[in-house]
Amino acid sequence: MNSAFLAPRHNEILSLAKEHGRVLVDDLAAHFNVTPQTIRRDLNELCDRRLLSRIHGGALLPSGIQNVEYEARRKIAAEEKRAIGRAAAGLIPDRASLFVNIGTTTEAVSDALLDHEGLMVITNNINVANRMRVYPSFEVIIAGGVVRGSDGGIVGEAAVDFIRQFKVDYAVIGVSAIDQDGALYDFDFREVKVAQAIIANARHVILVSDSTKFDRGAPVRIGHISQVHTFITDSCPASSVRALCAESGVHLIETAA
């Protein structure tokens, strides 16, 4: 629906969602000086019109094949992603070899790795390659394939074949959604193929994902949380996923704990 037909408060809520990636009920209630119940009604109406998607305690820009706009995604849970990045970097020693795939959380890991020495980084993420290439102690290797304009991810069969040439110490992977049954999902089947190749060719797989991924859905299955060795998140709200980690020997690290 055209935003010109929305109430002024609804338009401002949409603008805030585009600026920050998500909006929270309590923050909006304080911003507009109205009750949380009023904001919940606003969000429900915007979600009914498919202008936002509900999450626990708020709403996100709606998901789709383009996902949330990439710059907006960077702002979603930005502090949480930085903490996740630091925790992941702490597990990776100097002079290790690693894969880093597409995503704003994996980019936060790459930022936290910049004080390491002697890393070999193989990535299908142009943003990661661009950050790390200027550090002379790193060897940065970028996959070939189709460059996705929305986020600089390199996808397709050529990227999959390239990844399969390597066997690395660590893989740092992100996903778009985590189901209650532990299934991991993404939006683009081409990206999923690359992620599956990365998982299959790493000795230790580190899944990095902020807790908003438990509130989202995506159509293409990557795999299952039991296939990773370490799962780093700010908080794991799903008791079923927590139990699966314990049963499968997955090391769960919650940075907000």
Task: List average pLDDT for each run of 10 residues in the chain, which is 257 residues long.
Answer: 66 82 89 94 88 82 53 74 97 98 94 97 95 94 88 91 97 95 92 95 97 86 97 96 97 93
In tens, the pLDDT along 157-215 reads 999 999 999 999 999 999 999 999 999 999 888 899 999 999 999 999 999 999 989 97
The Cα 104–Cα 64 span in angstroms is: 17
- Determine the pLDDT at residue 71: 62
- Determine the pLDDT at residue 28: 95
- Determine the pLDDT at residue 57: 85
> Where do the domains of the chain lie, and which CATH numbers do they carry?
3-62 (1.10.10.10), 76-254 (3.40.50.1360)
- Determine the pLDDT at residue 152: 86
Sequential DSSP letters for 84-144 = HHHHHHTTSPTT-EEEE-SSHHHHHHHHHTTT-SS-EEEESBHHHHHHHTT-TT-EEEE--
The Cα 49–Cα 1 span in angstroms is: 7
Distance from the Cα of residue 141 to its chain's centroid: 22
- Determine the pLDDT at residue 2: 43
- The model's pTM: 0.75
- Determine the pLDDT at residue 6: 72
Among the listed residues 1, 105, 103, the one whose alpha carbon sits nearest the alpha carbon of residue 52: 1
Contacts of 204 (CB under 8 A, 6+ apart): 169, 170, 171, 229, 230
